[in-house]
Amino acid sequence: MRKRLNWGILGTSFISGVMADAIIEEGGSELYSVAGRSEAPLVAFAEKYEIEQVYRDYDALIKDDAVDIIYIALPNHLHHEFVVKAANAGKAIVCEKSLSIDMEKTREALAAVEKHGVFFAEGLMYLTHPLAVKVREVIRAGTIGDIRSIKGEYCAAISQFVNPESKGALYNLGCYPASLMHLVMQQAFGDTVFDSYHVSAFGRVGEDGNICESAATLQFSNGVICQLHTAEDYGLHAGFTVLGSKGSLVLASNPWLPESEGNRLVITEYEQHEETVTVSAEGNGFLYQVRLVLEAIEQGRNSLQRPAATAKDSHQIMQLLTDWEAATRVS
């Protein structure tokens, strides 16, 4: 009988609880330990999930030999530091999105993962869900023809909850449409499509000094034009559309919060036929993320498989985000 793998969670934020629920629901591993720096939420989290091994120090959890997988649920600007520490300790790693807040930290984190040969996955959990699998199948089959343009948008009123050092809307929310655009472009044209593109963008700065809203246009060397928009001080709104030479693909439900039911995409052949596809699943994206992480580790793989994000995908997505940030002219 295989050993049940033990999870250690760094941080007690809302997302930590969502992931803890998924670990328990999946049932094939143990929610073993949690670490936090604020006493009251740490105690409350440990009591809610009946976790006996509690740490007030992140490094102590990482050094615990009984921990097999570390879930990093800390603010974005801390991610790379603890990816490096977890990799140095030989732990499997699931790191919340976005991987970091700049390319230097991204390279540092992924270099440590590669050096120590540990499992790594960025927590773009929606890419593990059957809905993302279906999107990839539609693009791969050429159902809508050659990709001509993509439009993605995600807005949510979360500014009052986020850490100012996490760098604002692009890294908190923009990573979702950017990563789904990345999946579609990668599937249609291969990895090299990201070698050459131009970005222009306009946006606003919020009270914390970060970009709180931005709209970007990316033009790739093959002529495909993509438009991305995100805002963190109003909404909730999600939208994603792919236009091809023969038809369109519209994600009619929120593609970044897929559940067991209600996941819909609409495929339209221009001026002729429209088909609504409903994708049912056994749970939400977090459940599938836990399941696929465990499967990958048990099979001796160091990463998830597409459409989930590989380490190379995470690097390219972070490059897209940092280029988007650099291009944004703010008012």
Question: Can you name the CATH fold of 126-285+317-330?
Answer: Dihydrodipicolinate Reductase; domain 2 (3.30.360)
CATH 3.30.360.10: which residues of the chain?
A: 126-285+317-330
The C-alpha atoms of residue 134 and residue 126 are separated, in whole angstroms, by 12
In CATH terms, the superfamily for domain 6-122+287-296 is NAD(P)-binding Rossmann-like Domain (3.40.50.720)
The C-alpha atoms of residue 12 and residue 34 are separated, in whole angstroms, by 8
pLDDT computed for residue 271 by the predictor:
84
What does 128-166 look like in DSSP terms, one character per residue? GSHHHHHHHHHHHHTTT-SEEEEEEEEEE--TTTS-GGG
| Residue 124 parent element (H or E) | none
The C-alpha atoms of residue 52 and residue 54 are separated, in whole angstroms, by 6
The C-alpha atoms of residue 168 and residue 151 are separated, in whole angstroms, by 21
pLDDT computed for residue 3 by the predictor:
81
CATH 3.40.50.720: which residues of the chain?
A: 6-122+287-296
Largest CA distance in the chain: 61
Neighbours of 322 (CB within 10 A): 20
Write out the two tokens for 35. 């670490």
Per-residue pLDDT of the chain (331 residues; tens, 9 = 90+): 468 999 999 999 999 999 999 999 999 999 999 999 999 999 999 999 999 899 999 999 999 999 999 999 999 999 999 999 999 999 999 999 999 999 999 999 999 999 999 999 999 999 999 999 999 999 999 999 999 999 999 999 999 999 999 999 999 999 999 999 999 999 999 999 999 999 999 999 999 999 999 999 999 999 999 999 999 999 999 999 999 999 999 999 999 999 999 999 999 999 889 999 999 999 999 999 999 999 999 999 999 999 999 999 999 999 999 999 999 999 8
pLDDT computed for residue 215 by the predictor:
98
| Residue 68 parent element (H or E) | none
Whats the size of the chain, residue-wise?
331
The whole model's pTM is what? 0.96
What is the side-by-side order of every strand in the sheet holding 92-95? Answer: 53-55, 30-35, 6-10, 69-72, 92-95, 120-122
